[in-house]
Structure 1
C-alpha cells in the first residue's frame, strides 16, 4: 500500500491535437503515471512519470519497449507468462468488475499482485469497499478507474483510507490539475507552533459562528481560526465532556464571524462565508489534516473575548472567541484550554501561513493586517 495518493491519467481517449498539451500539464502537475495505447506518445515524458500500457491477454504481443509497466487484462497465469517473456518490464493486472465472480477476482488481484487496476462498471462503491477490506495490509498497489474528478474524490476516500490511486481519463487541458487537486484534498500535514498568550480582553457583544461538520472530530482535533490570515489558533471540537450539556463531536465553536479558517486546497474562508456543503480543514495536534464537509453554520450574538498571542518568531496572532467557559482551544500535548481561563504565559497551538491572501487564495504581494 502506498503512503500518498497516486494520480494516473489515461490519454487513450484524447485527440492528437490535445495530447501534447495534456502531457505537458501532467508533467507540471507531477502526475505519477500516464496510460496510453502505444509508447510513442510517452517517449518524451521524464523518468518521474511512469509509462503504462494496458494489454489484453487475448491480443498479439507487441514489443513493450518504452513501457515501465504493462497492466494485463487477463488471469494471473497470463500475467506470469508475459512477465517471464519480458523480464525488463514490470507487470500488473487489470480487472473489470461486473458481478460476484469478477469481484472475487479483483479481491485476489489486490491481495497478491504488485499492481492492480480495477474498473468497477456499476456506480455503487460497495464492491470497492469489499476489495479494500479483503486486501487490508496488502503489499501491492491498488488503483481504481474514475470516470471524472467527482468520482475520483469519492474513490480516494472510500473506507477512509481509500484506493491507493486513481486512473482518470484526460480529454482536455485542466484534467490533470483537477485530479491532482482532488488527491491533494484528502490528507496532508501543516506545521503547528506553540504560541504564547500575551493578553486577553472581554470586548462585548458580536456574532460568533459554530461550524457543524458532517464528521466525527477527534478529541485532539479541530479547525484553525484567526483574525489574521498569517496567524491562526487550533480551536478544539466539542468532543470533551461539559457539566451542563451533551458533547457535540461534530462541532467547533470557532470564533467571531470575521475570522479566517483554512478550507481545502490551502485557501482561506471567512467563517461568515461558510454554508452547508462548504469544506474546511480539520487538524489534529500533530498537524495531520483531513478535509471535512460543513453541514451547518450557526451564527448567533454572544459576548466575545479577544486573545492575543505571539509566535516564537515574534509574529502576533489574534483570535476572537465566544466569551464562555465551554469554548476551548488546544495546547501542546493535546491540552484542552478554556478560553475564559487563558492568561499571559499560557501556551496554545497555532499555525502561521506564510503567504498573503487575495479572495482566500495565497498570493505573493504586500498585505498588512492589524
Structure 2
C-alpha cells in the first residue's frame, strides 16, 4: 500500500517536460494542470486532473478529474450530474475556522478534495482527517516539499490519502514516490532452521532505540550478510530483571546489516538519531520508523547460523545473553542463548547484493 502522489505542473516552464517525463517513469497517480493541452499526451496509467484557471471548459474530453472552486465553477455534485464521464472534486484553502469547516464537509462528501493549509501547523489537517473517517472519497493535501509530504503521510497515523507537489527541480518526483511507497510495505518472510550456535567472545553490539512503540510481534531485520536476515524482536515482552523498553531492539553486532527505507540496508554502526529503519511484524508488514538513539557497548557475543528452505545460509551475531530475543513462526519469542539446531526462526532473504547499501545485481561472495 502507498499514498497517492499528484504532481502539479502549473507554473512550470523550463523543467515542465522533464518533470512530466519523470512523472510518467515513476508512475505517479495524477498530474494536475490548468489547461487540457498539458494533459492530452499523458498515458492512461496517469490520472489527468484539470484545475481550470478561468471558466470551466464545455468539452472535458480526455480529463479524468476536475477540481473546482464552488464559488467560481459550481458545486462538484451538480457538475458531476452534467458531466457523467468525469469525476469532480473541490479545492479548499484552509485559513480560518470557517474554511476548516468547509474542508471537513468536502472530505466527508466529495469524491475528491484538494486541500491547501495556509499555516504550517498540522492541527487543522488532523481535524479534517478525523472528520473524514469512513468517507469514500480521497483527500489530497498540497505540500511544499518531500519532507513535508512525509509528515503529512503520518498525521494521526492515517495521514492524508495523498499529496500534491509542484516540483522545484527534477528528482523531487522520484523522492516523493519513494516516500509514499515507504509508508507501508510488505516483505515476504521465510522460515529459517537453526543449524548451530557458538559463543564467539567479546565485541560491540548495538541497541537501536526508536521514536515509536513496537508491537509485540514487531522488530527489525538484522543479519551478518546482505542476503539473509533474522527478525530480532523489540523489548516489548516482560523480563524478570529489567523493565520493558518497547521502543528498543537489541539488534546485534555493529557490523550487521539492517533493512532501511527504499530497499536500502545500513550497518548498525552507521545508524544515528534521525536515521530510518523498517519495523517489521511476523506477517511481513513493514513501516518506516525513526531512530532516536543507538547504544553501542562492548558485550559477549553469540553467533547463530541458520538455513532457509532454498539453502540460503544466514548468520546473526547477537549479545550473548538470555534476555536478547528473536522471533519465530507465529510470533514465538525465542531467547537467543536457548536456541538449538532444528529451532525455527523468521527471516528475510533480499534478492540483490549491496553496494554502499543499495541493491545491485553483481557477483558478491559473503561468508
Q: Alignment partner for residue 147 of structure 1, among 144, 147, 160?
A: 144
Q: Could you list the runs of 4 or more consecutive aligned residues of structure 1 that deviate by over 4 angstroms after TM superposition?
A: none
User: Shift in Å at residue 77 of structure 1?
Assistant: 5.6
Residue of structure 2 equivalent to 1:21: 18
User: Shift in Å at residue 47 of structure 1?
Assistant: 0.4
Give yes or no for the alignment of 1:244 onto 2:241: yes
Q: Alignment partner for residue 258 of structure 2, among 234, 256, 261?
A: 261
Partner secondary structure for residue 296 of structure 1: strand
User: Shift in Å at residue 227 of structure 1?
Assistant: 0.3
**How far apart, CA to CA, are the structure 2 residues paired with 1:178 and 1:220?**
30
**How far apart, CA to CA, are the structure 2 residues paired with 1:206 and 1:220?**
28
Instruction: Output the aligned Cα RMSD.
Output: 1.3
Partner secondary structure for residue 51 of structure 2: strand
Give yes or no for the alignment of 1:311 onto 2:308: yes
**How far apart, CA to CA, are the structure 2 residues paired with 1:67 and 1:77?**
18
**How far apart, CA to CA, are the structure 1 residues paired with 2:353 and 2:307?**
19
User: Shift in Å at residue 300 of structure 1?
Assistant: 0.5
Residue of structure 2 equivalent to 1:64: 60
Residue of structure 1 equivalent to 2:38: 41
Partner secondary structure for residue 75 of structure 2: helix
**How far apart, CA to CA, are the structure 1 residues paired with 2:299 and 2:77?**
68
Residue of structure 2 equivalent to 1:4: 2
Residue of structure 1 equivalent to 2:268: 271
What TM-score, normalized to structure 1?
0.96
Q: Alignment partner for residue 181 of structure 1, among 157, 173, 178?
A: 178
User: Shift in Å at residue 13 of structure 1?
Assistant: 2.1
What TM-score, normalized to structure 2?
0.97
Per-residue CA deviations over 1:44-83 (Å, capped at 9, x if unaligned) read: 1110101101137xx4332323211101112696223322
**How far apart, CA to CA, are the structure 1 residues paired with 2:365 and 2:11?**
48
Residue of structure 1 equivalent to 2:230: 233
**How far apart, CA to CA, are the structure 2 residues paired with 1:351 and 1:60?**
55
**How far apart, CA to CA, are the structure 1 residues paired with 2:337 and 2:11?**
60
Within a 5 Å distance, the mapping from 1:1-370 to structure 2 comes to 4-15=2-13, 17-55=14-52, 59-62=54-57, 63-74=59-70, 78-370=75-367
**How far apart, CA to CA, are the structure 2 residues paired with 1:225 and 1:232?**
5
Partner secondary structure for residue 40 of structure 1: helix
Q: How many residues align?
A: 365
User: Shift in Å at residue 130 of structure 1?
Assistant: 0.5
Structure 1: 5+ residue stretches without partners: none
Per-residue CA deviations over 1:196-245 (Å, capped at 9, x if unaligned) read: 00000011111100000010011000000000000000000000000000
